[in-house]
Structure 1
């Protein structure tokens, strides 16, 4: 399975793809081994794992032969509904709107993670960052078993990085980028239900990906483009097109995570009464940076790859 370079890619060489299958496999095997030592939450086996496996199968197929966006969307809705519908949570009719928002948010995060998987190490390092932070939050919230699963996800992403960074010998592919988005959305959902992970913290953890992907999509929609089709208009893709190396782009994004997002997460944990305000301010800073990048670097101009 080969990913060929093109106007929608940020690479100049044909590269094998679908390597994320090993990442998903390692997570599954690790959790099976963990179950022999400590009882993992039913939520993982009943709610999360079936969705992860189905998304991996569809993603593997999409890496080999393109699957229609409609089919992929239907599958994403099914696994999201499964995640919520089979949870032992009591929802009344008045909660229909809330449930719908949760389901759409899960679907959106899956696609955001897939959109942002277009530069060496980008999805892998974000997986390490998000997995470690969520593991720490679960541990602090008394959810040790779920913390181990989040840690396993972070470790699997770290194990994949030598194959994908600094030089990409293989791409992750949809086989794991979409399941990773689903897993982090599922962790957030579980954390909200158990009280071990607040909504503001969940947004902060994925804020760098969320801002870039969401604002880029909105900008394309406002320009009358077919926003639902593949493109190379994200800030990180534009930077690469303008001559930045994959390493430089990765350092920029993870520096934002480490020096901006992580301190705000710590502060929001210590002062939860100000968490919403902190999230709003952080998103405003990131959105301003996105806007400046578009303005100063000519992000709306036609992309030309070297």
Structure 2
């Protein structure tokens, strides 16, 4: 008699295939050698191939529909289709930018178009009103896409943080009432796991914009989905809490540069993680700490989930901010002992 495998086993097999397929494509991109030459904001000193995100995105798009079908989740839905089109659009534009270094305005237009497609599929918040919610959703998606891209400047930092975040979503999906996110989260985590060994602790290749912006859009979309579908009163906190280390670093850096009168669109090395690296802190330790902050954000989200929405936000914010202030204080202390020049 033929041996019939259960759906979960088949789905797990597909996840493993996606991981190894992503790793194989990353090897191809290493050999293709589209180089990232060191610049003002770079943490590397010699040219390193970029475009590892091609492997991550291609593997995700190839295996995601299969896993969805195996687990009984249709891909023929407006939100799924338009999110896929939006992510593919942004990934293609970002890969072209990796190759040709397009002006920031073109990338911003592509990000806005991708965000609009996601929202057109119905993935948006209705708070505080439907109309304002659409504008807030557009801003959120563009901001998170850029935040992930800005923070992709140290080996394993973004890929590691996103792996931790996606695994946390998969592990707690039932508690938050988000079963539809479990397998997509596992799929993206698996594809990133195929990339990670080539980037951490020593980088043989970088994600590039194609990976960081594509993953950023998916992360922002998942967070918006949580706000509409969670069964917990403060379940909406989960997405922002997992992304909070990136959000805090980017907001603090933008605010500091604005106060200092520095151009916000100019490449720089003023993010907190970059300053810590420039001060001589071990880059592996920096990455592990950032991943730990993501995990802490997940535990905070669980802690406040059952509270009313406003109470949950009031409880979560100080718990999320406190470790980031400690991280910032460490950067200040280290730069006083090991001067790094202007931030």
Is the pair's TM-score, using the shorter chain for normalization, greater than 0.5? yes
User: RMSD in angstroms over aligned alpha carbons?
Assistant: 2.5
**Partners of 1:28 and 1:291 in 2: CA distance:** 37
Confirm whether residue 188 of structure 1 aligns to residue 227 of structure 2: no
What are the within-5 Å matches in structure 2 for residues 94-133 of structure 1? 95-133=130-168
- 8 Å contact from structure 2 (residues 144, 216) kept in 1: yes
SS of aligned partner of 1:267: helix
Residue matched to 1:209: 246
Contact 2:245 2:324 (8 Å CA) reproduced: no
- Structure 1 position 19 matched with structure 2 position 52: yes
How far off is 1:216 after superposition? 0.7
Offset at residue 262 of structure 1 (A): 3.3
* SS of residue paired to 2:305: helix
> How far apart are the structure 2 equivalents of 1:66 and 1:133?
35
Q: Distance in 2 between matches of 1:196 and 1:114?
A: 31
State the partner residue of 1:58.
93
Question: Once the 2 structures are TM-superposed, how far is the Cα of residue 291 of structure 1 from its aligned partner?
Answer: 4.0
Instruction: Note if contact 1:141-1:196 (Cα within 8 Å) is conserved in structure 2.
Output: yes
Contact 1:19/1:170 (8 A) holds in 2: yes
- Post-superposition CA distance 1:190-216 (Å, at most 9, x none): 121222573222211101111011111
Deviates more, 1:7-16 or 1:39-48: 39-48
Larger Rg: 2
Q: Deviations over 1:231-269 (max 9, x none)?
A: 1111111111111232121122123333x3233122123
Residue in 2 that maps onto 1:2: 35
Conserved 8 A contact 1:138-1:191: no
Matching residue of 1:164: 199
State the partner residue of 1:302.
341
Unaligned runs of 5+ in 1: none
Structure 2 unaligned residues grouped into runs of 5+: 1-33
> Is the CA contact 1:235–1:293 (under 8 Å) kept in the aligned structure 2?
no
Q: What's the CA shift for 1:91? A: 7.2
Q: d(CA) in 1 for partners of 2:329 and 2:123?
A: 45
> How many residues were matched structurally?
303
| 2:303 is aligned with 1:264 | no
